[in-house]
Amino acid sequence: MNTNQDQVAVIGAGIGGLSAAYDLANAGKPVTLFEAADHVGGLAAGFKLPHWDWSVERYYHHWFQSDKYILGLIDELGWSEKVRFPRPLTVMYHQGKFYPFDSVLAALRYPGLGWGIDKIRFGLVGLYLRLTNNWKPLEKTTVDAWMRKWAGDKVYESMWEPLMIGKFGEEYAKEVNMAWLWARLHARTTRLGTFEGGFQAFSDQLADRLREMGVAIKLSARVKSIRPADGDRLRIAMENEGEHTFDQVLNTTSPGLLARLAPDLPEAYLAGLLSLKSMGAVVMVLSLKHQLSPEGYYWYNLPKNAGFPLLSLVEHTNYLSPDYFGGDHIVYIGDYLPTDHPYFEMTKEALEEKFIPQMKRFNPAFSLEWVNHTWLSRTKYAQPVPLVNHSENIPAIRTPITGLYFASMSQVYPWDRGTNFAVEIGRRAARMMIQDKNG
């Protein structure tokens, strides 16, 4: 490798890394993109059977109509006509039944809130959170304390507490700050977007554009370490490809992985990385012969106190036509879990025995004969946990090592993780890198 030309490295070919590489290449920087997997896309990556026209994401993904960063990038690329925004149906569980919950009218009809003052408080709190832009005071208190005070115990315990427990577990449910929930409610839309062919198609097309721009994308290329070299350069050691030096390196992996890759970071920065908490995710995808929800329900919000061993069930083909998947019906079963949860060690077969019988609770006619295939995906870095005053704990994009930058889901706060803010943080880091080199 000619080190005179290999000036910039990006580690991680998720949406953030791809977006950063795009801007760096546009600025005339020679870019090498390292990805440990054999494909691009990161947590938004997907898979595809031969008889499918579209791919299916390993972890369910969608865009909101307010997602200006990802939609803006797609517009720059000239692909806006490939974005689709169906309006699927979301439901809430209450006393053994599911009720639509994807509009103001549906919320007013939802029996779990009762009638009278509770429903009024729910509406006023929701309106306030959608209208206010002042999130900083909200991070000084928890979702649990703020919601109980302003929405009331009944509204909180019916609506938000099951979400918090499902998302963050008993360990963190009462510790997450209110700014996180504000961000979820503030700008989300009922229409959900996707890309023609699936998120993997978007990632592959963006990777192809990067290659046309001269970016070297190295797949199955696992980085072993990032360490300072002579002349303020950085040396990347690979597991199987020796060492390479660069002027600048952008790491887009998790905080814990950066701490392992760059042990020369100052103790205070390393401690900050390692102090950040996150939840993992376990997702099983089912291909079925028949539709699970004849009512056409897309997203089921499931309270664990009702005995569901999972957080959500998503029938993907009640959002996109089964025709895109050769007539197969695609269902996601997902859960956010502590990284030491037994689900991360259980075999796929053991998890099938735990999850698949639950399908009868959604459709009594379901039988094992409906199942064509199952796929299991697990990651221990899926949902950052923002505690009180979390803004004080965000790692700087410019690390204390000259030329080393960090952009991850843990830095998009107060916004929630997702491809939209992966684009924003990746492009923000790229701007810093360009600025620092250009002076």
Does residue 103 surpass a pLDDT of 80?
no
Q: Which is more confidently placed, 147 or 121?
A: 147
- Say whether pTM exceeds 0.95: no
359 has pLDDT over 80: yes
Q: Report whether 113 contacts 125 (CB < 8 A).
A: no
**Which of 118-132, 202-216, 327-341 has the weakest average pLDDT?**
118-132
275-322 pLDDT, tens digit per residue, is 999 999 999 999 999 999 989 999 998 888 888 888 889 999 999 999
* Architecture of the structural domain at 8-50+197-276+387-438: 3-Layer(bba) Sandwich (3.50)
Residue 423 CA to residue 350 CA, distance in Å, equals: 37
Which of the four pLDDT bands, split at 50, 70 and 90, describes residue 6?
very low
pLDDT beyond 80 at 403: yes
Average pLDDT, the chain: 92
What is the secondary structure of 217-234 as a DSSP string?
Answer: EESS--EEEEEE-GGG-E
The confidence score (pLDDT) of residue 104 equals 67
Listed range (75-79, 98-102, 323-327) with the worst mean pLDDT:
98-102
Q: Across residues 123-136, what is the average pLDDT?
A: 89
Q: How far apart are the C-alpha atoms of 381 and 281, rounded to whole Å?
A: 7
Token pair of 100 as six digits = 């639509």
- 249-261 pLDDT, tens digit per residue, is 999 999 999 999 9
Judge whether residue 5 has pLDDT over 60. no
CB 405 within 8 A of CB 395: no
pLDDT in tens, 212-241: 999 999 999 999 999 999 888 999 999 987
Of 160-174, 207-221, 264-278, which gets the smallest average pLDDT?
A: 160-174
pLDDT value of residue 439: 64
| Tokens 């197969």, located at residue | 328
Region 355-380: mean pLDDT is 95
Please compute the mean of the pLDDT values over residues 8-35 and round it to a whole number: 97
Looking at residue 127, its pLDDT comes to: 86
CA distance 190 to 392: 32
Q: Once rounded to an integer, what is the mean pLDDT over residues 193-209? A: 97
Q: Where are the domains of the chain?
A: 8-50+197-276+387-438, 103-186
